């Protein structure tokens, strides 16, 4: 059975982040994640999570290396005091013109500068999935249906087999909204990414799904659980990316609705 994790956008108010992390730990989530973006550092949000729930594993997905080089990531880890042993560090190519080359060449430096950190590669296309399977400690999917994720997982496993190693764990964001406005929240989030850069445009073209349908838009918790269950198998860890107002009550309510089955 896939484990469950909870994910948010970086820059969450510290009080919200701490109360959310504590509740996620109570609910049985195996890890809690933040993205990273130009306006806020995901590692700073993780530091708040760690303060409130020191036993839970942490993840950031993903830090774009065209914006934050490995040296800066290492400095940020030290500044925020994050335990490397608890960290899954997702990295991606961002707007790099040759993303596959970038991520292949970055790995030795990442390993040198970030000892003890589990390195997770953001992968959507088949070649990046194969690279992740053959070289990284984990792979992170984004904006995939269960069926598409199953095919991408096969590419990860093929890359691992070619490198004569066990396939690394597969994580993936599943955007999740619950309630009467769930469909609108999912569609708004998806529309931002569909034309963000060429990598995403190519990905959504391959996906060939109607706009506003990639993720979970559920009327109630029971419906949310049913839709999340579809990702069992393609993902080893379903990272529920919460689409709710960045306040304590809406975020914790969503975490409760999508919580791991007891």
Q: How far is CA 206 from the centre of its chain?
A: 20
Residue 140 CB partners (closer than 8 Å, separation 6+)? 61, 62, 90, 120, 121, 122, 123, 171, 172, 173
pLDDT at 84: 97
What DSSP string runs through 50-70?
A: HHH-TTSEEEEEEEETTTS-H
Bridge partners, 176 (sequence order): 216, 242
Averaged confidence pLDDT in the chain: 97
Nearest to 150 by CA among 111, 207, 202: 207
Q: How confident is the model at residue 197 (pLDDT cuts 50, 70, 90)?
A: confident
Relative to beta strand 170-178, strand 57-64 is unpaired
The residue that leads in pLDDT, 262 or 129, is 129
Whether the per-residue pLDDT at 26 is higher than 90: the answer is yes
Nearest to 46 by CA among 13, 10, 79: 10
Q: 3-257 belongs to which CATH class?
A: alpha beta
Q: How confident is the model at residue 227 (pLDDT cuts 50, 70, 90)?
A: very high
Whether the per-residue pLDDT at 21 is higher than 80: the answer is yes
Return the domain boundaries, the chain: 3-257
Cα–Cα distance, 165 to 192 (Å, whole number): 37
Q: How confident is the model at residue 131 (pLDDT cuts 50, 70, 90)?
A: very high
Nearest to 246 by CA among 50, 20, 54: 20
What is this structure's pTM? 0.97
Q: Over the Cα atoms of the chain, what is R_g?
A: 17
Assign 183 to helix, strand or coil. helix
Residue 194 CB partners (closer than 8 Å, separation 6+)? 200, 201, 204, 211
Whether the per-residue pLDDT at 257 is higher than 80: the answer is yes
Nearest to 143 by CA among 99, 179, 183, 189: 189
Q: How confident is the model at residue 44 (pLDDT cuts 50, 70, 90)?
A: very high
pLDDT at 161: 98
pLDDT at 1: 72
Residue carrying structure tokens 């809690």? 32
Angle (nearest 5°) at CA 56 between 186 and 14: 65
pLDDT at 119: 98
């Amino acid at each position: 059975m896939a484990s469950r994790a909870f994910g948010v956008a970086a820059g969450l108010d510290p009080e919200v982040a701490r109360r959310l992390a504590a509740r996620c730990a109570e609910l049985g989530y195996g890890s809690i994640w933040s993205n990273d973006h130009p306006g806020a550092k995901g590692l700073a949000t993780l530091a708040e999570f760690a303060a409130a729930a020191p036993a839970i594993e942490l993840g950031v997905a993903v830090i774009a290396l065209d914006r934050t080089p490995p040296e800066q990531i290492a400095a940020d880890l030290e500044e925020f005091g994050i335990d490397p042993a608890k960290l899954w560090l997702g990295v991606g190519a961002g707007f790099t013109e040759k993303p596959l080359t970038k991520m292949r060449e970055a790995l030795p430096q990442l390993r040198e500068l970030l000892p003890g950190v589990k390195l997770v590669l953001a992968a959507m296309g088949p070649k990046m999935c194969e690279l992740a399977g053959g070289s990284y400690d984990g792979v992170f999917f984004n904006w995939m249906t269960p069926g598409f994720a199953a095919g991408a997982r096969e590419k990860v496993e093929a890359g691992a087999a070619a490198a004569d190693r066990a396939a690394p764990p597969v994580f993936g964001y599943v955007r999740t909204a619950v309630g009467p406005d769930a469909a609108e929240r999912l569609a708004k989030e998806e529309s931002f990414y569909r034309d963000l850069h060429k990598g995403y445009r190519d990905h959504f073209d391959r996906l060939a799904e109607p706009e506003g349908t990639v993720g979970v838009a559920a009327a109630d918790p029971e419906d949310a659980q049913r839709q999340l269950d579809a990702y069992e198998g393609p993902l080893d860890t379903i990272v529920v990316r919460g689409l709710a107002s960045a306040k304590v009550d809406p975020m914790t309510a969503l975490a409760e609705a999508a919580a791991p089955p007891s």
